[in-house]
Amino acid sequence: MAGLAVIFFIAAVAIAAPIVAPYDPFAIDVYNVITAPCSDHLLGTDELGRDILSRMIWGSRVSLSVGFVAVGIATVIGIIVGAAAGYYGKVWDATLMRFVDIMLCFPTLFLILAIIAIIGPSIWVIMVVIGITGWMDVSRLVRAEMLSLKERDFVSAARAVGAGDLRIICRHILPNALSPVFVSATLGVAGAILTESGLSFLGLGVQPPNASWGNILSSGKDYITVGAWWLSFFPGIAILVTVLSYNLVGEGLRDALDPRLWRSDK
């Protein structure tokens, strides 16, 4: 619940960024370059005099957008592949699962770096690339649930009344197979935020002057030796707290949705 409260708070701040940000995140102030946290700039300023708090507030939009869109893409692909493999079985199962195994053999980070280096870095490219390289775990979860659920009596009853395969999958089986997918998706948002931050830190993510937690952290690393600790500390803490919150929510969902972990009131 604490993680969920933090996520709602960050989401509210991101949505209200134009209202709550005290300064223009792109405004350059040559008179306040590398200013330590003070009453005018609560989190200090960077090498161009831009307010760190404002840039972090606007950067939260980027980080959360990447997390949700990338996981949305990965979840849709994973559900389609896993449902087809689990329901139809035999040749479909063997073919699709071998394709999943091949995808899992690729080092994901290097694959992402290669694709972005070829296409060019942009926020939309990052979302799509993270999504199409992160669906394999979801497909395995959905396949496992489909293999179990398709043998249940309610599926046999649906077939007996003439329901087609698509209706059986979408209306009867998938709603009962999505519990582990929700947990995986929640944890996947945290992973996507970390990946985006890492790419931005390497200069292959969100490009300046647009703000993201990763490129704020990257620009701040060059000034740690001169005592400008706030340039790296605050975006690092934001990434840590956000990722930890999503992991906590994912663990909580797993406990809540798994009846084997329920405890009696005794």
pLDDT band, residue 266 (cuts 50/70/90): very low
DSSP string, 218-254: HHHGGGGGGT-THHHHHHHHHHHHHHHHHHHHHHHHH
Please say whether the dihedral angle defined by the alpha carbons of residues 124, 136, 80 and 91, taken in this order, is positive or negative: positive
Res 5: pLDDT: 92
Kindly state which CATH superfamily the domain 2-10+73-257 is placed in.
Answer: MetI-like (1.10.3720.10)
Query: What pLDDT is recorded for position 170?
Result: 83
What tens digit of pLDDT does each residue of 14-35 get?
A: 899 888 888 888 888 888 888 8
Mean pLDDT, all residues of the chain: 84
What is the C-alpha to C-alpha distance for residues 152 and 233, in angstroms, rounded to an integer?
53
Across 144-171, average pLDDT: 83
